[in-house]
Structures are given as C-alpha cells and as structure tokens.
Structure 1
Amino acid sequence: MTDVPVSAPRNEGLARMLYRFRQSRLSMIGAVMVALVLLFAVFGPVLAPYPEHVAGGVDTAARFQPPSPAHPFGTNELGQDVLSLTMAGTTVSVLAGFGVVLIGAVIGTVVGAVAGYVGGWTDEVLMRFTDLTLTIPGLILAMAIAAALGPGFQNMVLAISLSWWPGYARLVRGEVLAAREEVYVTAARATGAGPGRILFRHVLPNCVSPIIVKMSLDMGFAILTVAGLGFIGIGVRPPTPEWGTLLSNARSYMPDYWWTAMAPGAAMFVAVFGFNLLGDGLRDILDPKGRR
C-alpha cells in the first residue's frame, strides 16, 4: 500500500487558495501594484536616474523644470529630479509602514491573547486600557508621541506603533475567546499542557489568518500615517527623501509648479490602493468569515 505524503493535502489547499486568488482580477491588480512598490522599496535608490540628488546634491541651474524626457516628473526648487527622490522615498515609507504594522500586531496580539485566554480581571483591565487608547485619535496620539521623542525614523515608527496596537488586541481577543472552547484545546488540557503552551502552541496558530489579513489591509493606512507625520515635519530628518516630506515641500509651490507633488502623490495612491486590493484578496482566501 502506497503511503500518501503528509504534505499533499497542505499543498492541495495552497493550490486551491492560489486558484481562488487568481480568479479575482482586482486582487491580481493589487498584487502587481504591491510587487511594484516593493521593487522600488528594495531597489529604488539604485534604480533612481539621478542618485546624486538622492544623496542631497542640488542643481540650481535646473530648478523647477517641467516634465521632460530627462526629468519625467520635473525638478523641484533645488533642481533635484522629483522621480529620483520619489523612488528613493519608497524605501523609507514602505519600511516605516511595515515596521508600524509589525510592531503594532505583535503588541496587540500579546495583549489580546492574554486578555482572551486568562479572562477575569486581567481581561477587564487590559480591555479597558485598550478602549481608553482607542478613544484618542491615532494620528493625534502619534503626533504627540513623535513630538516628545523628536524627529527620526525609529521615533516615528515607535510613535505610530504605540497608537496602532488596539485594533489587533480586540481582534485577537475575540478569536481567542472562540478558540479556547474548541475540542483541541480541551484535549491539550487533558494531556497536562500548561496555559502558556496551550495559548502559544495551539490557540494562536489558529488565529493567524485574520491577523495576516488585517496586517495587509493596515499597510496602506500605516503608509498614509507615516506620510502624515512627514508632511507636518515630525517624520524623518532631511535630506532623507520621504513621500510626506516631499509633498510638504511641494505645497509651497502649488499650483504654479504642480509637478513637484505629482510623483509622490501618485506613489502614495499606488501603494495604498494596491495594499487594500491585496488585503481584500487575502481576506477572501484566508478568512472564511470575511468572504463575500
């Protein structure tokens, strides 16, 4: 009798998920957009046609040139190529957004998992603190923390992350409350497994799908928040290019030199729209409760 490989059902399930994902045209468009954004996030500074401008070089003789074959998105007030700055700024914006989502997801998952599994007064204290954090607008809280910590990439990511975790805490708490009553949890208790082992080895692995879906949907909003802090001047320090900072500089020269805002604005649109479409596609294949 021929043994069937254990990985066969898993590979078959993965193939089915990929098939369902490919059936959605919008999801595929989102995947292409995200792939393009990630490409520029990794290789943007290298692919930039004017790397000297990315490093802070200026060319005052070429300031405010309109879009042309040499400068597809024109030049800014310092004569720097706007396309090069936008391509290099993709790295900062995407890395910051990913850092915010990852840190927020880790903090929120731990808080929500402990609250949902332990219950009692621990649940009450953690959830009331979560609710208190949710009453403060995320951008306002991030602005206050970033202003206290000072400008810089690390401080910006930390500031936004501290306002990002409550959504994950509430999501994970609900998933854990449902999962802790499952048969496999009862079986784990019967074998003598401790609370920590049950929570992190049995319960949380079955809550990964909705967390991944929320992370993919949150990426676009995290990038917008990062750009918002850069726009008001408490993001990364110049001359590091970042989409929000580029838009902030361009607003002083609108509408006469409209092209200075065109490239960073279009890049933000592609990134946010792409991650939202990708998140919708992942929700359809990973989260049965969220399928349309």
Structure 2
Amino acid sequence: MTTTSTALPRRDQSARLENWSRAFYRFRQSWLSVVGLVLVIALIVLALLAPVIVPHPEHVAGGTNTAERFLAPGSDYWFGTNALGQDMFSLTLVGAQVSLFSGLAVVVIAIVVGGIIGAIAGYFGGWIDEILMRITDLLLTIPSLILAMAVAAALGTGVGNMIIAIAITWWPAYARLVRGEVLGKKEEQFITAAKALGAGWPRILGRHILPNIVSPIIVKASLDMGFAILTVASLGFVGIGVKAPTPEWGTLLSIARADMPDYWWTAVFPGMAIFIAVLAFNLLGDGLRDVMDPQARR
C-alpha cells in the first residue's frame, strides 16, 4: 500500500514564500524605492477617485468663471485659477487620470506588440528574425518623440490617436528586449525537453519561455511609465495631443505658458505633477530592478 506525500508541495510553497520575503526585504532596503511605491499608489488612487473628489467638476467639463480669473492659491482655490477662472486643482487632479492611464495604455500596447514580434523573431530566427529586426532597427533609428509627433499629426488629435502614435514608437525597444531573452532561454535544457515531448512552438513560448522572462519586462515597464507620461505631456504641450477642454498636464502647461511669470501657479502645479509622476515611477523601477535583476542581487 502506498501513500501520497504532501511534503513536496509544502516545500514548494514555503520556498515561494521565502523568495517573496527576500524580494520584499531587498526592496525595502532602499527607502527611495519605498517612497516611489507610495507615490505611485497615491497617484493611482487620486486618478481613480478624481471624478468623485474633484471640488469643481463644472470646470473640468469646460465651464468658466471669468469673475474669478487668475486668483492666487488660497483656501477657496488651493492651486489658484487660470485665465478662464477654472480651478487649477480640479484640472490638475483630473489631468492625472488622463496622463497616467494614457501612459499605462502606451506601455501595455508596446509590451504586447513588441513582445509578440520579439518572441517570434527570437524563437524562429533565420529570415523571419532578419525581417522583423530590420524593421525594428529602422524605427529605433528615428528619435521617438519626433516619430510620435509625426504619427500623431497624421492621425489627428485625441487621446486614442495619441496613445497609438506613442505606442508605435515604443514597441521596438520591447521587441529587442524580448528577442534577446528568448534567444537565451530557447537553448536551455527544459526547452529541449519540452520539444522532445512533442510540445509545439505556441506552447513552448507561452508556457515555458515567456513566463521566465517576465522580470526584465516588468522592470523596463515600470521605468518606461514615467517617460511615457512625459511623452504624453510633450505631445499635449506642442498641441498635437489631448485638446481642451479635456484636462491633461501637458495641455495645461501649454495654455499656461502665456501667463508666465505673472500667474506662475497656472504652470507650476501641472509641472510639479509631471515631475512627481516621473520621479515616482523611476524610483519604483530602480527598486524593482534591484529585486528582479539577478545580476543586481546581493
């Protein structure tokens, strides 16, 4: 008579919990990384709750109050008002929703498109790899902001077109990253064993290779979020991104530049929001890199 032992699953679960515990310990050793995580969580919460907690929703919808234009920051208007008498705090708060989720959409699209192209190129190699990588290299030779501006100008203004324009310039970097990781993983013994058991290439890529290269993708995505937000703001600033009355940090800066320096608050607070968002994601990305990058582990 045989009995089934449960010791192995317990050890596996214990090892997994121990790995997470060590990762969390390494992460919290850097107080800057913890600050970045707290700031990112706070920004996401504010973006999600913005439509509910915004003090002047009518200003967000495009309403004006010229009798209270250019009021300095105070108890009634924490961030002051702009040339149309709109509450800058309300506009900046709702602008977080547009900027953050536009940046997130750009990164997600870039990961999906670049991941698929990079995985196919790295796994099959040969002429498929040559064609896909030459297209990737061609896009990488063009400055991303210039290319995004050209695509956005061709597609027209709007949040959706802006996201597509930036994502087109963003995916080649992920394609290169995934291709390099796949080239290294496909030669390992567990992939050879999977092939010997008759597994097809979709299963090998989806079940064996891609789950083992998630860490560098997560690290790059966390670092890219800040730059994606900055690119979204840049397109809004030059007038080919989000258009008023939709509040977006770059658009708010573009409108406020005519009021500087006399009415400094119309530009300082949206600019500070961009600075805090980029800084937060960079700090978080540095912390995740220390945790997930094997070469960075001590």
Q: Same fold (TM over 0.5)?
A: yes
- Residue aligning to 2:293: 287
What displacement does 1:8 show? 2.4
Mapped contact 1:48–1:88 kept (Cα < 8 A)? yes
**Structure-2 separation of matches of 1:245 and 1:120:** 46
- Which runs of 4 or more aligned residues in structure 1 lie more than 4 Å from their structure 2 counterparts after TM superposition? none
Q: CA deviation at 1:291?
A: 4.8
Match of 2:71 in 1: 65
TM-score (norm 1): 0.97
- Superposed, 1:148-163 pairs within 5 Å as 148-163=154-169
Is contact 2:243-2:251 (8 Å) kept? no
Say whether the 8 Å CA contact 1:41–1:91 is kept in structure 2.
Answer: yes
Structure 2 CA distance for partners of 1:2 and 1:115, relative to 1, 3 Å: closer
Task: Decide whether the 8 Å contact of 2:149 with 2:240 is kept in 1.
Answer: yes
Instruction: Determine if the alignment matches structure 1 residue 224 to structure 2 residue 230.
Output: yes
Match for residue 117 of structure 2?
Answer: 111
1: distance between equivalents of 2:143 and 2:54?
A: 36
Give 1:279's aligned amino acid: G
How far does residue 23 in structure 1 lie from its aligned partner after superposition?
Answer: 1.4
Q: Residues 158-197 of structure 1 correspond to what in structure 2 (within 5 A)? A: 158-197=164-203
Hey, what's the Cα distance between the residues in 2 that align with 1:270 and 1:20? 24
| CA–CA distance in structure 1, aligned partners of residues 283 and 170 of structure 2 | 21
SS at match of 1:163: helix
Seq. identity, %: 63
- Per the alignment, residue 20 of structure 1 pairs with 26
Report the 3-state secondary structure (helix = DSSP H, G, I; strand = E; otherwise coil) of the residue aligned with 2:263: coil
Q: Tell me the residue number matched to 1:7.
A: 13
Counterpart of 1:201 in structure 2: which amino acid? R
Structure 1's unaligned 5+ residue stretches are: none
Deviation at 1:180, TM superposition (A): 0.6
Which is worse superposed, 193-202 or 173-182?
A: 193-202
1:94 and 2:100 correspond: yes
1:45 is displaced (CA, Å) by: 2.3
Contact 1:22 1:28 in 2 (8 A): yes
The one-letter code sitting in structure 2 at the alignment partner of 1:68 is G
Counterpart for residue 140 of structure 1: 146
Residues 68 and 94 of structure 1: is their aligned pair in 2 closer, same or farther, counting only changes over 3 Å?
same
Deviations 1:45-78 (A, max 9, x none): 2222222211211110100011111112111000
Whole-angstrom CA distance in 2 between matches of 1:161 and 1:7? 38
Q: Are the equivalent residues in 2 in contact too, given 1:283–1:291 (CA < 8 A)?
A: no
Equivalent-residue separation in structure 2 for 1:260 and 1:124 (angstroms): 50
Show structure 2 runs of 5+ residues with no match. Answer: none
**Which residue is 1:242 aligned to?**
248
Instruction: Give the direction of change, closer, same or farther, for the CA distance of 1:290–1:105 in structure 2 (3 Å limit).
Output: farther
Once residues 159 and 74 of structure 1 are traced to their aligned partners in structure 2, the CA distance between those partners, rounded to angstroms, is 33
